[in-house]
């Protein structure tokens, strides 16, 4: 009989934690899980899933317009934000109970409340103390609110999912995933959207062609993007309107109905006893882990956003499964973080895998870059001015495709397939030997011919 109450105690019932607990239980381990909000975590409750539902909703506005070119005529369609939010909430409730059901069926007890580590093997949840052979921290992250006067008037993505009405004019602060996704959602649903970003171009870290192309397309859809711009204060006027002082921007003051800060996320490590028991945290509060997701305390592991590595649900799920397999499955499984594809569900969306051009140049010195920009067939009849951009980056020496990037309709769906080829290390010739599917946008990835040679200019 084990001296512990359970083999694995998971803190946080999000994607990574739930996967770890279920895989552990599958190996016969006794697992428990604590959650202080709702089972499902950020992705299901106030992240990927509801965000994508809102993005679908936003796209209908264009679909109705585009249908006219195809012979459809109809009265002006009307949109109800409260109805969308109600329907979204119903779906999220359904998914959350599926997650709870999966845990229950695997024999995993769910403890409601905030868990705190007392020592490397003891966890307290409310009045209850539980001992565990291993602890897995999977507490996720929360939106960061920059400290500026009037920040209490701003919302984050958490509140954006719960707004009672659609704001007429919204300012979004930030230029990352959340900022550009919500800019597309609000603009598509009819709001006047201004995006204020402090840097030179949105989506820092993405390929430069992706960044500039998306900027242009978002502009065409009515999103006003201010670069090198920052908010210095937010005031609420007597009539309820928000007055925002924009620093470093010719705009000056901006009047709007809502301000949303999308300025990054902070790992949820405060107040759960981690530093007290010796778990090392990085400068941003993330749990420092090795390639097996083990922290500086041997019985404590961490996965997902709380580790401040790649904050993506499928990565957290991989990490959760790897930890459970390492601890209870008899095989040590490191997590492979190379060539992780990702998408930004902007309007139009972005899909990307592998290296950006500048990363590839740094790594290989000499590249062949294939790029195309075209108006998709669909928009010949719709009349919409929208362009798709696709790009392959090839290491000139090995001929391996080391990066694939796309901005345009269905980019996430298309890049998921291309990602298999990039992960497998296939060459440009192998891409070319694959027959395209016609007529699709995706076929461009196997028919790109015009290349540009790019060399690294060595600096002495």
Using the contact rule CB under 6 A, the part of the chain among 169-177, 246-254, 288-296, 440-448 near ligand NDP is 169-177
Burial of 86 (0-12, 13-18, 19+ CB in 10 A): exposed
Q: What is the DSSP letter of 28?
A: T
Using the contact rule CB under 6 A, the part of the chain among 239-247, 258-266, 318-326, 448-456 near ligand NDP is 258-266
Q: What is the nearest approach in angstroms of ligand NDP to the Cβ of residue 337? A: 12
Quick note: the x/- pattern for ligand NDP over 172-191, rule CB under 6 A, is: -xxxxxxx-x----------
Whichever of 244 and 312 has its CB closer to ligand NDP, that residue is 312
Q: State which of residues 161, 345, 370, 431 lies at the interface with ligand NDP (CB under 6 A).
A: 345
Distance of CA 69 to CAs 60, 65, 168, 381, 408, Å? 15, 8, 28, 5, 20
Contact by Cβ (8 Å): 246, 211:
no
Give yes or no for residue 343 binding ligand NDP (CB under 6 A).
yes
Whichever of 115 and 254 has its CB closer to ligand NDP, that residue is 254
Whichever of 120 and 264 has its CB closer to ligand NDP, that residue is 264
Q: Which residue has the tokens 């585009």?
A: 66
Please say if 438 is a catalytic residue.
yes
Q: What is the nearest approach in angstroms of ligand NDP to the Cβ of residue 177? A: 4
- 74, 121, 337, 438: the catalytic one is 438
Q: How far apart are the first and last CA of the chain?
A: 66
Give yes or no for residue 199 binding ligand NDP (CB under 6 A).
yes
HSE-up (13 A, CA, CB side) for residue 45: 19
Q: State which of residues 245, 311, 322, 393 lies at the interface with ligand NDP (CB under 6 A).
A: 311
**Which residue's CB atom is positioned nearest to ligand NDP?**
176
Task: Scan residues 135-154 and list those touching ligand NDP (CB under 6 A).
Answer: 146
Measured on CA atoms in the order 146, 147, 149, 150, is the torsion positive or negative? positive
Q: What is the nearest approach in angstroms of ligand NDP to the Cβ of residue 73? A: 35
Q: Please count the other Cβ atoms lying within 10 Å of the Cβ belonging to residue 118.
A: 14
HSE-up (13 A, CA, CB side) for residue 85: 13
The CA-CA-CA angle for residues 374, 380, 386, to 5°, reads 50
Where on the chain is the footprint of ligand NDP (CB under 6 A)?
A: 146, 173-179, 181, 197-199, 204, 262-265, 311-312, 342-345
Q: Tell me which residues are annotated as active site.
A: 438
């Amino acid at each position: 009989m084990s001296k512990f109450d359970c083999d694995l105690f998971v803190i946080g019932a999000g994607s990574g934690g739930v996967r770890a607990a279920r895989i552990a239980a599958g190996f016969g381990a006794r697992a428990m899980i604590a959650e202080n909000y709702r089972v499902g975590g950020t992705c299901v409750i106030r992240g990927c899933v509801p965000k994508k539902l809102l993005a679908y909703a936003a796209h209908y506005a264009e679909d109705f317009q585009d249908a006219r070119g195809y012979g459809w005529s109809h009265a002006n369609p009307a949109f109800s934000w409260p109805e969308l939010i109600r329907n979204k909430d119903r779906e999220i409730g359904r998914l959350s109970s599926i997650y709870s059901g999966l845990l229950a069926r695997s024999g995993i007890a769910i403890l409601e409340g905030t868990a705190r580590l007392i020592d490397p093997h003891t966890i307290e949840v409310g009045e209850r103390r539980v001992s565990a052979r291993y602890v897995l921290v999977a507490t996720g992250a929360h939106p960061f609110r920059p400290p500026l006067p009037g920040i209490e008037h701003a919302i984050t993505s958490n509140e954006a999912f719960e707004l009672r009405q659609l704001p007429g004019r919204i300012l979004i602060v930030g230029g990352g995933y959340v900022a550009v996704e919500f800019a597309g959602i609000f603009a598509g649903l009819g709001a006047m959207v201004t995006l204020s970003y402090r840097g030179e171009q949105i989506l820092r870290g993405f390929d430069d062609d992706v960044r500039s192309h998306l900027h242009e397309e978002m502009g065409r859809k009515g999103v006003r993007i201010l670069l090198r711009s920052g908010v210095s204060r937010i005031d609420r006027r007597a009539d309820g309107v928000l007055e925002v002082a924009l620093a470093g921007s010719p705009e000056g003051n901006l009047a709007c109905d809502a301000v949303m800060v999308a300025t990054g996320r902070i790992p949820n490590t405060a107040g759960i006893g981690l530093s007290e028991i010796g778990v090392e945290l990085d400068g941003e509060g993330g749990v420092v882990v090795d390639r097996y997701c083990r922290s500086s305390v041997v019985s404590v592991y961490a996965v997902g956003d709380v580790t401040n590595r790649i904050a993506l649900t499928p990565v957290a799920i991989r990490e959760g499964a790897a930890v459970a397999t390492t601890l209870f499955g008899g095989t040590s499984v490191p997590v492979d973080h190379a060539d992780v594809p990702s998408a930004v569900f902007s309007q139009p969306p972005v899909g990307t895998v592998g290296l950006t051009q500048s990363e590839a140049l740094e790594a290989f010195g000499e590249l062949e870059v294939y790029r195309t920009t075209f108006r998709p067939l669909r928009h010949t009849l719709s009349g919409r001015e929208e362009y798709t951009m696709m790009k392959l980056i090839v290491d000139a020496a090995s001929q391996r495709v080391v990066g694939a990037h796309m901005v345009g309709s269905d980019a996430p769906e298309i890049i998921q397939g291309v990602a298999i080829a990039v992960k497998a290390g296939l060459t440009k010739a192998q891409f070319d030997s694959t027959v395209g599917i016609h007529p699709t946008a995706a076929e461009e990835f196997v028919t790109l011919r015009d290349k540009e040679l790019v060399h690294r200019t060595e600096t002495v």
